[in-house]
Amino acid sequence: MELDQLSEDVIDKIADKVIEKMAKKLAKKTPKRKVKTLRKLNLNSPGGKLAQFMLDEIEKNDPSFATPKMDKWAACFNKMIFMETYDENEIKEVISFGLSDSFWKALTVNPYSLKANYYKIKTRMLNPVNKEQTMTEKRNVFKEAKRKHNES
């Protein structure tokens, strides 16, 4: 009986060592596979399409723009879409507006800055400000205040 017990212990130890070795091999191989798979998924995902759209829009304004790491851009857009529930079509509109607006163009050069200023750009897009009208209103207020001051 002791011999049977001994052999079972030896078999268990050998099995544990084999399992450890297999786990180490898998641990070494798995991250690389996952990264490659994630990159492929990112570039074919909605975020990847948005990243390519943003790059195309930027290159219209600046043909010498350096090619970014598209997988990172795609990951940022995927996070915006899937985790933070931004609307994909709305993001496209905000990108287009941000890159066409003289002020926001300089601040919309990557998805990270777009995300940081997203609601500001969207608000500006939905409520356009007519600069001439604003300046005229300011002049009128100034003239009215000056007139009241002169009357008193």
Per-residue pLDDT of the chain (152 residues; tens, 9 = 90+): 455 555 666 766 676 676 666 666 655 654 555 445 445 555 678 888 999 999 999 999 888 988 898 888 998 998 898 888 889 999 999 999 999 988 888 888 999 999 999 999 998 888 876 655 566 776 777 777 778 777 76
- Residue of 98, 94, 52, 99 lying closest to 74 (CA atoms): 52
- Our CA dihedral for 147, 131, 87, 82, rounded to 10 degrees, sits at -90
